[in-house]
Structure 1
Amino acid sequence: MNILEISSSVWMILCSICGVTCAIVFIAIVVFHRKLHTSNIMLAFNSAVAVLIINITCGCQAIYQITSDGNDRLCSFRGFLLHAGCGLLYHTICNQALHRLFVVVFAARRYFQSKQVIVSMTIFQWLISATFGIPALVLGRIVYQPGRRIGQVGFYNHSSSKISIEI
C-alpha cells in the first residue's frame, strides 16, 4: 500500500470512530430518557442505529484494508453488510420523509401519525433493508476488489469486456 491508501484507511477509521461515538451517545440518551420517546425522536433513533451499523462495518473494512494482503472469507460478508447498511440508512431517511408527509399533508388523518403506523413502517423498512443485499450475496456479485482491497459489488459492464464510445 502506498501512503495515500494508508492515510485514506486511517481517515476512514477515525471517521468511523467519530460516527460510532455520536450514534452511541444519541442512542444512550434516547434509551435512558423516557420523555424523549416521541415519534420524531424514535425515527431519528432508527437512523442512529443504521449509522452505527454502517460505521462499524466501514471501520472494520478500513482495518482490513490496512492489515490484510488479500481476499479472506469475510470479504463477501463485509460487502453484504456495506450494501445492506447503505440501503438501511436510505430507507430510514425515506421513513422520516414519509412521516413528515403524514404530519404535514395528512394532518387531519391522525391514524397515519400513530405509533402503530410508525412501528409498522419501521419493521417493514428493516425487513426490506435486511434483504437488500441478499441477491448480490447469493449470486456471488460481491467479490474481492484487489485495486481497492475491499469486498464489494463489482462495477463493470456485463455485456462486453470492452467499453467503446462512439462519437
Structure 2
Amino acid sequence: MKILKIVLLLAALVCVGGVCYFETTNSGVDEKTLRVFCGMPESLISNLCFIGIPLFIGAAAVISLVERIRANKNGVIILGFVALICGGALGLIYAITGGHIGYFMHELESPNGNHSVYYVRNKETGDVAWLRKGNGHTYYIIKSTDTGALDDIEWKDDALSLDGEIFEYDLLDNISQK
C-alpha cells in the first residue's frame, strides 16, 4: 500500500505541475489561439489536472486512514479531515461545472485527403470553433459558428466553404502564424 500512496501523491504532484504550466504559459496566447495536446484543448487538460489534485490526495488520505484505523494508530482525525476536504472539493467542482470539464478536438479531411480543418464543439451551447493548424501544438481559430455549420461544409477545388464563408486551402495548410 505504501507504493500505491507514493504513486497517488506523485500523480497529484504531476497535476500541480500541469496546472502551473498551463496557467503560467497561457499569458502569451491570445483569444484566437488554441493549444491542443493529444486531441485535447489545453483547457480540458488543465481542468483534468485541477480535478486530479484533490482526487489523488484524497485517495491517498483514505488509504492511510483505513490503514491507521486497522492498526489503531493516532492521526485518524487529521486524515479523515483531509479526505473530507478533498471529497468536498471534488463535490464542489462537480457542482460548479455540472460534470462538463472540457471538449475534444475533431478533424475533418477533404475528400481527397490533402487538406484538413479542425473543430472544437461545445455540446452545451452548440458553439463550434473552427481551427487551422499552426506550429507544434498551436491551432488558430478561423471562425466561430453554431452546430448547424457541421452540416454546411463544402470542399471545393481550391477552397473550403464553411457556413457560407470561403477559406482558401492556402490558409488552412499554412503553418506559420499570420
Normalising by the residue count of structure 2, what TM-score does the alignment of the two structures yield? 0.41
Report which of the two structures shows the higher radius of gyration computed on alpha carbons: 2
Higher relative contact order (CA 8 A, sep 6+): 1
> Which of the two has greater helix per residue?
1
With structure 1 as the length reference, what TM-score do the two structures score?
Answer: 0.43
